[in-house]
Amino acid sequence: MTDTSAVHAPPNMETEPNGDLCTRALAMPADTNQNGDIFGGWLLSQMDLAGGVFASKTAKSRTVTVAIEAMNFRKPVFVGDLVSVHASLVRVGKTSITVHLEAWVLRRREVHSILVTDGNFTYVSIDDQGHPQVIAQVEAPVSV
């Protein structure tokens, strides 16, 4: 028996998005790959845009992407899907912020959103010259 756990994302048990809504976009025909599905690079760029918004807001400075890890492409995105990207803080280091991003879609004729992609993105706070800068202390999120 072959162990496939190393190549597949863990099953998704989430029924609704976690974190702050950062971006929302409609998947269009120009964003498709050769199979007619939305190109993974387009989805990745939507997630990076959302993560950059969240990281800059958190760091109160310019940020740049330095790493993407643990990307899980769980389900395809189709033309006409409304893609929403949600962000939540994973950790704040001296100059970097790691953000967990989730991309959810609302499909035509569907009632509930579907998690299609998630992953952790790391951003570095930079100054006006593009050099890493220390992030001021970030307050812990308040639990409700």
Residue by residue, pLDDT tens for the chain (144 residues) are 444 444 455 565 668 899 999 999 999 999 998 888 899 999 999 999 999 999 999 999 999 999 999 899 999 999 999 999 999 999 999 999 999 999 999 999 888 999 999 999 999 999 999 999 999 876 655 443
CA distance 71 to 142: 27
Structurally, what CATH architecture does the domain formed by 20-126 represent? Roll (3.10)
Residue 32, judged by CB atoms within 10 A of its CB (0-12, 13-18, 19+), counts as middle
Q: Residue ranges per domain, the chain?
A: 20-126
Q: In Å, how far are 19, 26, 85, 118, 122 from 100, measured between CA atoms?
A: 8, 21, 10, 7, 9
- What is the spatial order of strands in the sheet that 82-92 belongs to? 20-26, 82-92, 96-106, 114-126, 62-73
pTM value? Answer: 0.84
